[in-house]
């Protein structure tokens, strides 16, 4: 398991601009000439570098990832591709790890749209949840939450050419149940494991570190079954 910690200093662009303008004005008065474009840019960058050490530190941001050596997967807990790629890039530099983004032959939006239009829904063992997002070529967006997403209104939108860009799903296999939202770029968000995680370690009085390890192992073993099933369902 890896954790990337990033902490940056908070320096507003207005503060840099104000200090830079004061310096540019001073140079103009002392030399009697106008400060050109390239020189202005250099002054702004110089001022930014001078002010940065004095700026306040922002709260640290943590990005976690788990490397599964058996499956050759790197699972990254990040809210965006950019944050995930930052972590992957640093692992490449530090360990020489060859990491490539996961991709499908086609975006999931076509398959998700077909599931929502089908009377049988998603293929077993997946079930459609109570949230979805629809989009079209003109940039229109329809968000549906906390209701049956295959209703007549949603179907009418789909008939006009809208597609599903995000869909709430649940995966049920034996006593394991996981809820999540699948996005059109293949990312998974809102991952929630059912009560089976707690039930499997029920009765064990574990310290915090041991509890963390136990949950991580149970979750990882579940994802080892969930991810291949999702790839197969998406074709």
Mean pLDDT on 49-70: 87
- Nearest residue to 186 via CA among 166, 212, 172, 170: 166
**Would you state the pLDDT for residue 37?**
85
185-226: per-residue pLDDT in tens? 889 999 999 888 888 877 677 788 888 888 888 898 999 999
Distance CA 163, CA 27 (A): 58
Beta bridge partners of 177: 172
Mean pLDDT on 65-91: 91
pLDDT at position 36 over 90: no
**Would you state the pLDDT for residue 203?**
64
In the chain, alpha helices (H): 13-31, 37-51, 81-95, 108-117, 152-159, 196-200, 208-233
**pTM, two decimal places:** 0.75
**Would you state the pLDDT for residue 106?**
83
Residue whose entry in the numeric block shows the structure tokens 């499908």: 104
pLDDT at position 33 over 90: no
Distance CA 138, CA 161 (A): 11
CA dihedral 172→119→128→122, nearest 10 degrees, is: 50
């Amino acid at each position: 398991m890896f954790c990337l910690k990033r902490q940056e200093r908070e320096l507003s662009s207005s503060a840099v601009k104000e200090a830079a303008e004061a310096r540019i004005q001073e140079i103009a008065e002392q030399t009697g000439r106008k400060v050109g474009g390239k020189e202005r840019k250099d002054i702004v960058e110089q001022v930014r570098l001078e002010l940065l050490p004095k700026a306040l530190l922002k709260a640290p941001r943590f990005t976690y990832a788990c490397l599964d050596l058996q499956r050759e997967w790197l699972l990254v807990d990040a809210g965006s591709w950019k944050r995930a790629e930052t972590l992957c890039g640093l692992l490449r530099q530090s360990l020489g790890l060859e990491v490539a983004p996961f991709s499908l032959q086609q975006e999931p939006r076509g398959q998700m749209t077909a599931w929502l239009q089908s009377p049988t829904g998603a293929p077993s063992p997946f079930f459609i949840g109570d949230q979805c997002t629809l989009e079209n070529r003109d940039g229109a967006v329809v968000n549906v939450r906390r209701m049956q997403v295959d209703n007549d209104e949603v179907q009418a939108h789909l008939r006009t050419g809208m597609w599903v860009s995000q869909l709430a799903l649940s995966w049920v296999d034996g006593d394991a149940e996981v809820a999540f939202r699948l996005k059109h770029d293949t990312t998974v968000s809102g991952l929630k494991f059912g009560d089976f995680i707690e039930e499997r370690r029920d009765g064990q009085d574990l310290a915090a570190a041991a509890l963390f390890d136990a949950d991580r192992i149970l979750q990882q073993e579940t994802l080892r079954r969930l991810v291949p099933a999702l790839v197969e369902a998406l074709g």
